[in-house]
Amino acid sequence: DTGVSQNPRHKITKRGQNVTFRCDPISEHNRLYWYRQTLGQGPEFLTYFQNEAQLEKSRLLSDRFSAERPKGSFSTLEIQRTEQGDSAMYLCASSSTDRGNSYEQYFGPGTRLTVT
């Protein structure tokens, strides 16, 4: 399997701009997750898709954040009107229900967002 890929790897944007990140999961993984990680903290759950359905969403996810997975393959995470507090590493992970260890999540390299 090729691993989870994320693009871009780095993004610098000015406060108030919109940004969009893409995640391509491991092929045939039907579950996809987004996390955010800041320095010195563990990854923080944002949202989860099974196929194209968004099934879980963190209460911490403000309405400026939206995620999609329209065809059950790749996913996008959009942040509107970015704020300096959005600066973080955005991580995507995927897992499969077709294997015994269906809860094991495999992470992509992440997208590092800097809001100036």
The residues binding another protein (CB under 8 A) are 31, 33, 40-45, 48, 50, 55-56, 58, 89, 91, 101, 103-110
DSSP-derived 3-state class of residue 16: coil
> Minimum distance from CB of 81 to another protein (Å)?
26
The torsion defined by the Cα of 41, 113, 6 and 59, in degrees rounded to 10, comes to: 60
> Minimum distance from CB of 70 to another protein (Å)?
20
Cβ nearer to another protein, comparing 10 with 15? 10
